[in-house]
Structure 1
Amino acid sequence: MSENSKIEWTESTWNPLTGCSKVSQGCAHCYAERLAARLKAMGNPNYQNGFQLTLHENQLAVPLRWKKSRMIFVNSMSDLFHEDVPFEFVTKVFDTMIKAKQHYFQVLTKRSTVLRNIADKLTWPKHIWMGVSVENHNYTYRIDNLRSTPAAVKFLSLEPLLGPVPDMDLTGIDWVIVGGESGPGARNMKKEWVLDIKAQCIEKDVPFFFKQWGGVNKKKTGRLLEGQIWDGMPTVYEHPTLQVS
C-alpha cells in the first residue's frame, strides 16, 4: 500500500485486495504479478499469498487516514471486479471511497461485464472515477460496458497498447490514457496506433494522456510524443498538481 505512486496519472495507490488472474492479452506480462513475487520474497505480510487473490480487511480504512486531498488509484495490484471478489467486499471498498470524499478515486478493471452487472447496485458520487482497460480492438466492448454505468467520470486505459484501436465510440468518455508495455518481454507499441488514438480524442474533445513508450527500459524511451508531453486530464482536474481546478 503506497502513499506515493510513480504512476504518472495518479498520486497514490490503495490496495484493499491483492492478487489476480489473467483474462486477456494485456495480462501476459503483468507488472503486478512480478512485483507481488518480489514483495513476497521480501516478507511483506500483504503478499504472503503471492499473487493469489487476497482480501485485506485491515486496509479498508487507509484512505480515511489521509486527510490531504489526493488522487488515488484503487487496486493497482488487483482488480476490484474480479469474479471471485464477494459483492459485500466491493461494497465495503465503495463505502470507504464514499466516506473519504476529500479524495478522488480511480478504479480500473478489465472485467467490464462484472462491472456492468453490478454497477446499478453501487453508489457513484462524483469523486469516484471508473475506467476500463482496452489493449486492442478486440476489447472495445469494455467501453460499451463502462458507458452503461452511472459513474460521473469514465476513462479508458489503453495500456499496454498491443494493437490499433480505430473508430472508437468515445461518447460519454471523459479521459483516455495510452501507454506501451514495459519490463521483461515487453511487446512493441507502434507510433501510428498512438497518433490515431490521439487524433480520435482531439476530434471528440476528450482529454488525452500519453503515459509512456514502454519497452525493457521505459526511462530511456520516455514520454515524449511528437516532441511534447501529453498530460490531458478530465476537466475537473489539472495535471501535474492534480488539484481541483
Structure 2
Amino acid sequence: MSDRSPIEWTEATWNPTTGCDQISTGCDNCYALTLARRLKAMGAQKYQNDGDPRTSGPGFGITLHPDALEVPRRWKQPRLIFVNSMSDLFHARVPMDFVRQVFEVMAGTPQHTYQLLTKRAHRALLLADKIDWPANVWMGTSVENIDTMHRIDDLRRIPAALRFLSCEPLLGPLPGLDLVGIDWVIVGGESGPNHRLLNPSWVREVRDTCQQAGVPFFFKQWGGRTPKSGGRALDERTWDEIPATVVAAAR
C-alpha cells in the first residue's frame, strides 16, 4: 500500500499498529475493518491477525509492527502524517512501552507533523503524563454524536501542541459544543453502501460554532454511496489557518 493518503486533511499514513474494535455507533460502517478484510484475503502480511468477531473481524486484530517504527525516518521531506489510519494507538491492547516508542520516533523526526486520532480519549488522557509530547504532534478525538461529546473533555486536558475534533461520520447534532482548548474541527458525512445520511443543519451548527469561537473548520464531504468532497463550498476555512508556529513542520 502506498503511504500517500487520499484523505483530504493529511498527506501520508503510517501504521505502526493495525487492528481495532468497534466501541461506538461511529464504528458501525468502519472503512478500516472493511479494508482489512480485503487485505487479508489478498495475503497482506500486516492483516493476517483476526480480531474478536463480535467487535472486529478478519485481519483486524490488534497487531504491533515494530518493523514499521523506522518508516518516518526514511521520509526526508516534511510530511503531514496520519498515525494509525488502520488502528487506534490508544487501544487498551497497545502496551504503554510501544506507545512510547511511537512517540520517540515522532520526536526524533521533527521535519514531520503527526496527527493522532483516537476514540479512546480517556486512555490517552490517562497515559498523557507518562509521555513526552513533542511540538510536532497533534492529538484528536472522534465525536460523531451527542453520546460521544464527553471525549472532548478528556482531549482538552492532553498537553498536545494542537488538539482537534473529527466529527466524521457526523451522525447527529452536537448541541452545546464547547471548543475551549480545541484548535481545529473536521466535519464529514459517511460514505459507502450502508451510509447514514448527514443533515446539513448539523454541519451548519458546528460551522457556526467554530466561527464564533475562532476555530478553523474543515468540511470534508457530504458522504453518500461514494465519497463526495465538501470542497470549500460550505466554508473556506481550512487547516491552513491553524497558527503557523504549529503547522510549520508540515510545510
On whether the aligned pair clears a TM of 0.5, the verdict is yes
1:19 is matched with: 19
**CA-to-aligned-CA distance 1:21-69 (integer Å, 9 cap, x gap):** 0111100000000000111111111111201111101101100110000
2:76 is matched with: 67
2:8 is matched with: 8
SS in 2 for 1:121: coil
SS in 2 for 1:26: helix
Alignment partner for residue 162 of structure 1, among 154, 167, 171?
171
Unmatched 5+ stretches in structure 1? none
CA contact (8 A) 2:217 2:235 kept: no
Distance of 1:176 and 1:154 partners within structure 2: 9
CA contact (8 A) 1:179 1:212 kept: yes
Q: In 2 relative to 1, CA 21–243 (structure 1 residues): closer, same or farther, beyond 3 Å?
A: closer
2:139 is matched with: 130
Q: In 2 relative to 1, CA 242–207 (structure 1 residues): closer, same or farther, beyond 3 Å?
A: farther
2:55 is matched with: none
2:125 is the alignment partner of 1:116: yes
1:204 Cα deviation (Å)? 0.3
CA contact (8 A) 1:182 1:218 kept: yes
2:221 is the alignment partner of 1:212: yes
Distance of 1:137 and 1:48 partners within structure 2: 35
Q: Spell out the pairing of 1:3-152 with structure 2 (5 A cutoff).
A: 3-49=3-49, 50-152=59-161
CA contact (8 A) 1:2 1:14 kept: no
2:185 is matched with: 176
Alignment length (residue pairs) = 241
2:243 is matched with: 235
SS in 2 for 1:218: coil
Unmatched 5+ stretches in structure 2? 50-58
Q: In 2 relative to 1, CA 235–106 (structure 1 residues): closer, same or farther, beyond 3 Å?
A: same
Q: In 2 relative to 1, CA 2–14 (structure 1 residues): closer, same or farther, beyond 3 Å?
A: farther
Percent identical residues:
54
For the aligned residues, what is the CA RMSD? 1.9
Q: In 2 relative to 1, CA 120–238 (structure 1 residues): closer, same or farther, beyond 3 Å?
A: closer
